Chains A and B, each alone.
Chain A
């Protein structure tokens, strides 16, 4: 099960966050900061799956933007990895050559709408 999806830039600013489980606002910011720190400190040749507390993080870097997905332990990590890429490709098609700015400006609404569906990674038809 996907627990959350985050898009964070290298400075640590959250561009998009979508939680699929109720998490209090006060806990979100430290969680995001922690997760981002974890991912930013990883080197290029390390694998993209990190064990964090009681779930796993699957992250992928696209230029200056990190997309982090928090999944439960029983998920197929490679599959989620593919999903992230698929999602980015969809955005690319939609915004024609998506960049971080698109993410910041149009994203909050459009992309959140993309992530509207509950997290069973149904294809975004």
Chain B
């Protein structure tokens, strides 16, 4: 068998391959040759073959059949063999293969070898891929080597120890005594690796950290080393572009950071040296900047005095003005971290940060955008917003969503005037309309309803925007909602803020109908515009046109549209008398906890059933039964919450109030009655029928107490005959204040499908002056209207 080719030859051959397929062929041929060579147990050329195998592995081809060969190489006596063997072990083996355990013995022997290079190899390999079992077995050896005087071995042993600690944290204690005099070494290699080891220990275990802070006087030692590094003159061994061993400096600074975090004494001790490093380091080269960056990070993290912090932020400001992109990026990242704590100092650099928004680099732009949002406050909102909106116009799509939500949040917090706020939101919708979040539409609607004086202006601007462009769905939705609500203001041409435009009713209806037929509109948008058209039937005079539109859509393919159209049709035909009331202006909406479910409000009975109601309404969808039509209309006029679940329940409460209005209209007031009056406790019932189902009577009890002492632990219970169903909701409180100072209210809902006379048995329990009182009573004197 001819001698296997050398690695160089192999590489040369592979490089001549023109295509991927050719390369694969060559590799396979060579692999076959290698495999047969392995089978022949050829000792002389094993090293060469494994080297070739490693190269092929690096190119991405499978090489697992070489693992055992690596082990054989490790076991051989020749240094060259061992070298390739260990390299192969590091590249090909990891703790997932079972084979690696076979190495343990070899490594153990090699750790005690006479030649330091062999020991070094073993340490490296162990430190690279040692599994926890191996580490456990060999930790003792490593620790011994950590104490030798040979600096070559010491530094490798330190790194190996780091790996051992990572794999088996319990062994950390074992290395503690060895670390005592690690830092008194002169050799930078050892210093560096010891600092790494100490850092690892401090990061892993807070006990270690405390130990190092107090007992070892670590901080003074580190400060001393750092000082020597800075002060010492040119040392050719460690020089990098004029700075002495910057890597060690950076490491020490990082360890100082960990030691000084939230610890006053340590922070005190390092103040001076940090100031010294910050002022003395040369910044013309990148190396100096790297050290300064680390210094700044350290100053920010420890409990430094304010002078030092200002120095740090000024350094960052200087970085921002630097031409080098890397440095600007790094500066922006650190400023972002510190803006929470040192807000004022960062504000000084605001203009530079805003300039970075225009930078070409994507990472810098993103950082600058986040930082700008963090810096917005009441004073600079106008200027900042101008810049940010300009940025929104010109930035990449990946930024638009974040920028848009950021703008909304900032505008909400700091808007100087309502008009400005609305203008800003409109600007966002027109420029980045398709990237805004879904809940911005209801937020905007709610904002618009709340700013009563701006209605005319808003609707005018929205109308103009619609004329320009109907592709941005959120904008279109908001615009059609507003036109539906405030169309009369639009047509009448009253607008204080701007030049009023002359719009006729037909033009408005044209636009809305255009939305309905356009391909660009989503089904949601179509729903909005149909409802808007319907609402205009009370505000405009051209009712016939609206009727026609509505009846056309009664046979639309889209179920949602069809349902709406049919219901609105019914509204025209049978319930025309209710139409004005139904389609009245929406009242101002209460902004409930954003994005959270509305809690049941317990103050009185009225808002309560309205919040509960929308949960009942969604299942009711058949437009067949006319009584149910009425129910749907009453529910459906909330526009959104019944059908679209994305809309939060805010409009529900508005709709609910609308329902209340209706309830009051159809309800000839049922007189309240006194159900119980004994021993100073008086319970009154008031009735509502503010709900779509005429069979449900909603009774609110008001309990008042005319005695001199409070009634605590007040519990009201009720029972009804079998033909009824009763639902008792939670009371407003269970303490009835004395002397009629207040009342406890609770809501009862009684379902009375057979319209029988309402009867109820009630049970009251409360504690008066320390003694519990219990009472039963029957209530028969319900007014006839409550159950008919």
Are both chains from one complex?
yes
**Once the chains bind, are B159 and A78 in contact (CB under 8 Å)?**
no
Q: Nearest chain A CB to B88's CB is how many angstroms away?
A: 10
Q: What are 27 of the A-B contact pairs (CB < 8 Å)?
A: A14-B59, A16-B58, A17-B58, A20-B128, A22-B95, A25-B57, A28-B60, A46-B362, A46-B363, A47-B325, A47-B329, A47-B363, A76-B293, A76-B294, A76-B297, A78-B293, A78-B330, A82-B246, A82-B247, A83-B247, A104-B11, A105-B12, A108-B51, A109-B84, A116-B90, A122-B196, A125-B189
Interface residues of A in 71-119 (CB under 8 A from B): 76-79, 81-83, 86, 104-105, 108-109, 112-113, 116-118
**Which one of A104, A108, A112, A118 lies within 8 Å of B159 (CB-CB)?**
A118
Q: Does chain A have a CB within 8 A of B96?
A: yes
Instruction: Tell me what chain A mostly uses at the interface: helix, strand, loop, or mixed.
Output: mixed
**Which of the 9-residue segments B282-290, B509-517, B604-612 touches chain A?**
B282-290
B172 within 8 Å of A by Cβ? no
Are A118 and B163 in contact, CB atoms less than 8 angstroms apart? yes
Contacts of A123 in B (CB 8 A): 188-189, 192, 238, 245, 247
A40 within 8 A of B: no
Residues of B within 8 A of A51 (CB): 363
Count contacts on B: residues with CB < 8 A to the other chain. Answer: 61
Q: How far is the CB of A13 from chain B (nearest CB, A)?
A: 9
| Residues from 280 to 325 in B contacting A, C-beta threshold 8 Å | 286-287, 289-290, 293-294, 297, 325
Binding site for B on A (CB under 8 A): 14, 16-17, 20, 22, 25, 28-29, 43, 45-51, 76-79, 81-83, 86, 104-105, 108-109, 112-113, 116-118, 120-123, 125
Cα distance A109–B95 in the bound complex, in angstroms: 23
> Interface 1/0s, chain B 51-66, versus A by CB < 8 A?
1001101111010000
Collect the chain A residues with CB atoms within 8 Å of residue B11's CB.
Answer: 104-105, 108
Instruction: Write out the residue numbers on chain B whose beta carbons fall within 8 Å of the beta carbon of A50.
Output: 363
Contact partner, A46, options B254, B287, B360, Cβ 8 Å:
B360
**CB–CB B196/A120 < 8 A:** yes
A78, A117, A125 pick with most chain B CB within 10 angstroms = A78
B247 touches A79 (CB 8 A): yes
Report B-chain residues with C-beta under 8 Å of the C-beta of A29.
60
A13 to B328, CA, bound (A): 31
Q: Does B15 count as interface, using CB distance less than 8 angstroms?
A: yes
Interface residue from B160, B196, B286 paired with A78 (Cβ < 8 Å): B286
> Nearest chain-B residue to A125 (Cβ)?
B189
Q: Which residue from B246, B329, B362 sits with its C-beta under 8 Å from A79?
A: B246
Shortest Cβ distance from A78 into B: residue: B290
Given contacts A76-B293, A79-B290, contact A108 B54 (CB under 8 A): yes
Contact call B188/A78, Cβ cutoff below 8 A? no
Choose from B59, B95, B127, B326 the contact partner of A48 (Cβ within 8 Å). B326
> Which A residues are CB-close (under 8 A) to B58?
14, 16-17, 108, 112
The answer to whether residues A108 and B326 also contact, given A82-B240, A117-B124, A123-B247 and a CB cut-off of 8 A, is no
Q: Once the chains bind, are A47 and B364 in contact (CB under 8 Å)?
A: yes
Given A117-B156, A121-B247 in contact, is the A25-B62 Cβ separation under 8 Å? yes
Tell me, in angstroms, the Cα distance from A123 to B187 when the chains sit together: 11
Q: Which residues of B contact A108 (CB under 8 A)?
A: 7, 11, 51, 54-55, 58
Q: Which of B22-47 touch A at CB < 8 Å?
A: none
Residues of B within 8 A of A17 (CB): 58
Further 10 A-B residue pairs, CB within 8 A, beyond A46-B325, A77-B326, A117-B156 = A14-B59, A29-B60, A78-B327, A79-B246, A82-B287, A83-B247, A118-B124, A118-B159, A122-B159, A123-B189
Q: Which of A82, A117, A122 contacts B286 (CB 8 A)?
A: A82
B96: chain A residues at CB < 8 Å are 22
Separation of A5 and B238 alpha carbons in the complex (Å)? 23
Q: Does B715 contact A (CB under 8 A)?
A: no
Q: How far is the CA of A93 from the CA of B15 in the complex (A)?
A: 25
Q: Are B364 and A109 in contact (CB under 8 A)?
A: no
Contact assessment for A118 and B155 in the assembled complex, using a CB-CB cutoff below 8 Å: no
Binary CB contact string for chain B from 687 to 713 against chain A (1 if under 8 A, 0 otherwise): 000000000000000000000000000
Q: Give the distance in Å from the alpha carbon of A123 to the alpha carbon of B247 in the complex.
A: 8
Q: A16-B58, A25-B60, A105-B11 are contacts. A112–B91 as well, Cβ < 8 Å?
A: yes
Contact residues in B for A116 (Cβ distance below 8 Å): 87, 90, 121, 124, 128
